[in-house]
Structure 1
Amino acid sequence: MDEPSQRKADECFARAVYATGSPLMLPSNVYWKRFLNVLQPAYTPPTRHALSTNLLDEEFNRVQTKVKQTIDKADCISVISDGWSNIRGQGIINYIVTTPQPVFYKSVDTKDNRHTGQYIADELKVIINDLGQEKVFALVTDNAANMKVAWAHVEETYPHITTIGCAAHTLNLLLKDIMALKTMDTLYKRAKQIVKCVKGKQVASATYLSKQKEKNMSTTLKLPSITRWGGVVIMYDSLLEGKESLQEMAISQTAGMLDDVFWEGVSSSLKILKPIAAAIAMIEGDGAILSDVQCLFAELKEEIQTVLPTSLLLKAEETAVVKSLERRREFCMKPVHAAAYMLDPKYDRGILSGEEINGAYRVITAMSDHLGLDKGKVLGSLAKYRTKQGLWEGDGIWQSCQHISAATWWKGLCGSEALAPLDQATR
């Protein structure tokens, strides 16, 4: 094998190892060696040392170059910050940049620094300045108290940047609020006890799996995560899918819990919890954008208010759910969400209140100032867009937005309009 072919093969092999998290000793395994030899006898795979040194450096540099090029091409970007502890207990802060497609920017080891609001703000300012503060329009973090302090520092330094609470984190807190209600908590504990009783005993677990197999069902009982309340939905779903098998088993420890009231509670609770869990999954996806959040909360409110009267919750608890949803929504939503919704052609603008519309106008005006655009022309273009005049008069242009992203729609079809640059700033 000639040298260029060897280098290309090594590069591809190394990338496959890194991307799959495979062990670096893989190429020294006798069976992998045999497999590669069958494919190409002339090819010698890289050593473990090469995979952990020069090939790793080259792949890192390649990815970093691609990330930089992606960010440089974007006119407007947002920064997403997420703090966590790694398997060694070290404090780590990850930074993701949306262009609007998300790209991983960097990971910072906080060492022995306390995660105070001032420390986080200082770190965020470094990231913002590295990226170019003039093109950063939004900062997304979780809703912790130290983050709120950091928001104030960032907004003071960069008035054009909007700080936003993570919608997925907010919805997880909504689930936590609902699960804290007495009726929901009691049901949750009963359900968890049943799952533990079956999964924790070898004979019971084997019997359950056997009965599921007889019914051509491969589903197993699931326990929820201790950190993500969306796992409750998965547990309840698994219980309903295994309902017949559980009732057939008639385990003495759980028989009293498997009555009709229990199953009715699981089913009615799922009608409340499932829409929230689905919303979390949607908003955590790579394709989620700010305009989706406005629509998401409106749909959640409608769905939950529809199913609450059929739930087993007490009237006071039903009221608490509605209030919690509104409180979480008010915390999460900012005028920039209304502006993004207004500028997303796939959504009609009927759900925005008068206050939200005014807030959207203020955001659009402020962003026009920051981008150095003629505010009069921008607002004039907005008026035509909202009343479907000029370029937006025909049906075809509105039908097209159902087949392409809003960013492509504005850039490809409406790029000549004064309003077009504002869409990129609200993605």
Structure 2
Amino acid sequence: MGDGWTDNRQRSLINFLVYSPKGISFIKSVDASSFITNAETLCNLFSDIIEMVGPKNVVHMVTDNGANYKAAGRKIREKYVDIYWSPCAAHSINLIMKDIAEMPTVHSLAILASKITVFVYNHKWVLNWLRTQPKWTEIIRPGATRFATTFIALKSLHDHKDYLQSLVVSSDFKKFLNVPKGREVKQIVLDENFWRNCLIMVKIMGPLIRLLRICDSDEKPAMGYVYDGIYRARKGIKELFKGKKHLYKPYTSIIKERWHRTLRTGIHVLAYWLNPAFQFHEHNLCQKLEVQRGILDVIEQQTLFKASDLMEEMKIFRERQKTFARPLALSTSKTTTPDEWWKFFGCDVPNLQKLAIRILSQTASSSGCERNWSVFERIHTKKRNRLEHQRLNDLVYVHYNLRLQHRLASKKSLYDPIDYECIDKTEFWVVEEEVEGELAFDELESMLEEQPRISEESTNFSKGIEDDMVTVEEDDNAMIDVGRMTSNDLDEEDWLTSPPKN
């Protein structure tokens, strides 16, 4: 995985990591500022990393979505035929949300929601009044870089509708009506169109945010779920607007455009087809022309297996013959991770089994690895000599991998981009960030000493915990799954017959 980012000094840094069923390992951090726009040089850098790990050990490379990375990815595919490349799925989904958030109606809605949140947290009496209400929870504020939080904030605000309306109609709130902001907030809170539009956006973004949650985690391989997740999102929006093209088209067009520009790759299509949760489902897309072509492209391009053998074995899988005919194979197709499922039931098709495990055990995103790169930012400086820089790189290598090892042993949950508890609820003002100084050896070595020790007890305990299986039909309590909604759920006052109002 190549996770590119820009630090406070506007340098383009790339952190390289290795994803495997055992977890994630950090390799190195590179300052690519001088050649970040050169696809050929990027390709050479990626090739060096691949050779360092060993081409036979690399199945798939995930990078950022920029045109330079895409061009470098194509060159990698030409050089290493059996190494797949794809852009970060979480980044692509985040860009979809960014485009939707910039739509005039959605942007206006977010501004109104922000005015309510800012007013509540800027007035101590208002906040204290709300906190005394039974079952009150804090209102979520939008994040600066994660566009999913904009829509999470809308849902959070909608969940607090009754509390906020009770507040603005109370006699105690009258003293705030003497100021313009107080009157404006009351008008917004009592506007039913505002709340309806919030609910529309919550239901539109539900499937996308659920897919982001799947892709943005390194706990389970997500490759087999990306294609279906995008399809469900588009289908859910169409159903939400009851098939009225002029209403759903602005949203589905954004998803479709991003899908074709970034995520429409052969590995996503093949992963969908090989996922038993979808292959054995009565209503699937496996016969879709796009899927069939994508599968044939991958089979013809790969050199690890004989294409004719794969075709024969794919027929056995598609028609549920031999081991695939077992009732247990069907009943566990949605409750077992796809790669593990193939290890159990793919014994009659050894070539396809190996290919399926290679594909379905891959991550779809490079963003689930780590989000706090402050340590790496502080080692890239021209003031250091070559030996000093190498020593710091070695220390950072140990520091980061110790953190990864501790997280794996303790089963500590990752930062979740849609987890309410992981989003700062109060500091929604923009403040100037402090620029940290260069990283000193003593400081980093002390950080290493502070790393939690991984005892045998914690390791053994973690081994005894069974991982939660990824299920296709799992309900996401945090958001509403549009794909499961019926028209009866939406018919009240038939407010979906017109697009959201400003």
- Measured against the shorter chain, the TM-score band is 0.7 to 0.9
- Secondary structure at the counterpart of residue 82 of structure 1: strand
| CA–CA separation in structure 2 for the residues paired with 1:366 and 1:171 | 28
Given the alignment of the two structures, is residue 215 of structure 1 paired with residue 134 of structure 2, yes or no? yes
CA distance in structure 2 between the partners assigned to 1:402 and 1:241 by the alignment: 31
CA distance in 2, matches of 1:271, 1:112: 41
Deviation at 1:317, TM superposition (A): 5.9
Could you tell me which residue of structure 1 aligns to residue 71 of structure 2?
A: 149
Matches within 5 A, 1:171-210: 171-199=93-121, 201=122, 204-210=123-129
Which among 257, 266, 269 is matched to residue 335 of structure 1? 266
Q: CA deviation at 1:169?
A: 1.1
2:57 paired with 1:126:
no
Aligned-pair CA distance for 1:112: 5.1
Task: Show the counterpart of 1:58.
Answer: none
Residues 121 and 153 in structure 1, CA contact (< 8 A), matched pair in contact too: yes
Distance 1:294 1:111, change over 3 A: closer
For the residues of structure 1 that align with 2:124 and 2:160, how far apart are their CA atoms?
Answer: 12
Aligned residues: 338
Residue 403 of structure 1, CA deviation? 4.2
Report which stretch shifted further, 390-399 or 170-179. 390-399
User: What does 1:166-315 correspond to in 2, within 5 Å?
Assistant: 166-199=88-121, 201=122, 204-217=123-136, 219-250=137-168, 251-258=182-189, 259-286=191-218, 287-309=220-242
1:223 and 1:405, CA in 2 relative to 1: closer, same or farther beyond 3 A?
closer
More contact order relative to length (CA 8 Å, sep ≥ 6)? 2
Cα deviations by residue, 1:94-149 (Å, 9 ceiling, x for unpaired): 22323245412323131653422333222211111111123423221221122122
- Cα distance, 1:241–1:110 mapped onto 2, change above 3 Å: same
Aligned to 1:256, the other structure's residue is in SS state: helix
Aligned 8 A contact 1:90 1:109 in 2: no
Question: Contact between 2:207 and 2:236, CA under 8 Å: does it hold in 1?
Answer: yes
In structure 2, the CA distance between the partners of 1:410 and 1:211, relative to structure 1 (3 Å rule), is closer
Quote the Cα distance in structure 2 between the aligned partners of 1:342 and 1:83. 30
Provide the rounded CA distance (Å) in 1 between the counterparts of 2:135 and 2:334.
Answer: 39
* Cross-structure match for 2:18: 97
Distance 1:326 1:112, change over 3 A: closer
- In the alignment, structure 1 residue 358 sits paired with structure 2 residue 293: yes
Give the secondary structure class of the aligned counterpart of 2:45. Answer: helix
- Aligned partners of 1:167 and 1:283 also within 8 Å: yes
SS of alignment partner, residue 94 of structure 1: strand
TM-score, normalised by the number of residues in structure 2: 0.62
More deviation in 301-310 or 255-264?
Answer: 301-310
Aligned-partner SS, 2:60: strand
User: How has the CA–CA distance of structure 1 residues 172 and 101 changed in structure 2, closer, same or farther, with 3 Å as cutoff?
Assistant: farther
Distance (whole Å) between structure 2 residues aligned to residue 387 and residue 159 of structure 1: 29
Distance 1:361 1:184, change over 3 A: same
Distance 1:159 1:266, change over 3 A: same
Q: Distance in 1 between matches of 2:84 and 2:357?
A: 14
The 1-side partners of 2:98 and 2:151 are apart by: 12
Instruction: Provide closer, same or farther for how the CA distance between residues 216 and 354 of structure 1 changes in structure 2, counting only shifts above 3 A.
Output: closer
- SS at 1:257's partner residue? helix
Q: Hey, what's the Cα distance between the residues in 2 that align with 1:234 and 1:403?
A: 28
Distance in 1 between residues matched to 2:127 and 2:133, nearest whole Å: 10
Q: What is the CA–CA distance in structure 1 between the aligned matches of 2:61 and 2:233, rounded to whole Å?
A: 24
* Secondary structure of the corresponding residue to residue 188 of structure 2: coil
- Residue 309 (structure 1) shift: 4.7
Q: Hey, what's the Cα distance between the residues in 2 that align with 1:188 and 1:113?
A: 38
Instruction: Provide the rounded CA distance (Å) in 1 between the counterparts of 2:134 and 2:337.
Output: 43
Q: 1:213 to 1:149 in 2, by over 3 A?
A: same
Which of the pair is proportionally richer in helix? 1
Identity %: 22
Query: How far apart, in 2, do the equivalents of 1:211 and 1:396 lie?
Result: 52
The aligned counterpart of 2:85 is 163
Q: 1:412 and 1:392, CA in 2 relative to 1: closer, same or farther beyond 3 A?
A: closer
Q: Is the Cα contact below 8 Å between 1:172 and 1:228 reproduced in 2? A: yes
Distance across 2 between alignment mates of 1:167 and 1:342: 18
> Relative to 1, partners in 2 of residues 1:129 and 1:282: Cα closer, same or farther, differing over 3 Å?
same
- CA-to-aligned-CA distance 1:129-173 (integer Å, 9 cap, x gap): 111123423221221122122223222322333221211111111
Does residue 346 of structure 1 match 2:274?
no
Q: Do the aligned partners of 1:208 and 1:245 also contact (CA within 8 Å) in 2?
A: no
1:381 Cα deviation from its structure 2 partner: 1.3
Secondary structure at 1:163 match in 2: strand
Structure 2 counterpart of 1:374, from 306, 322, 325: 306
Taking a change above 3 Å as real, the CA distance of residues 397 and 263 of structure 1, as seen in their structure-2 partners, is closer
TM-score normalized by the length of structure 1 = 0.73
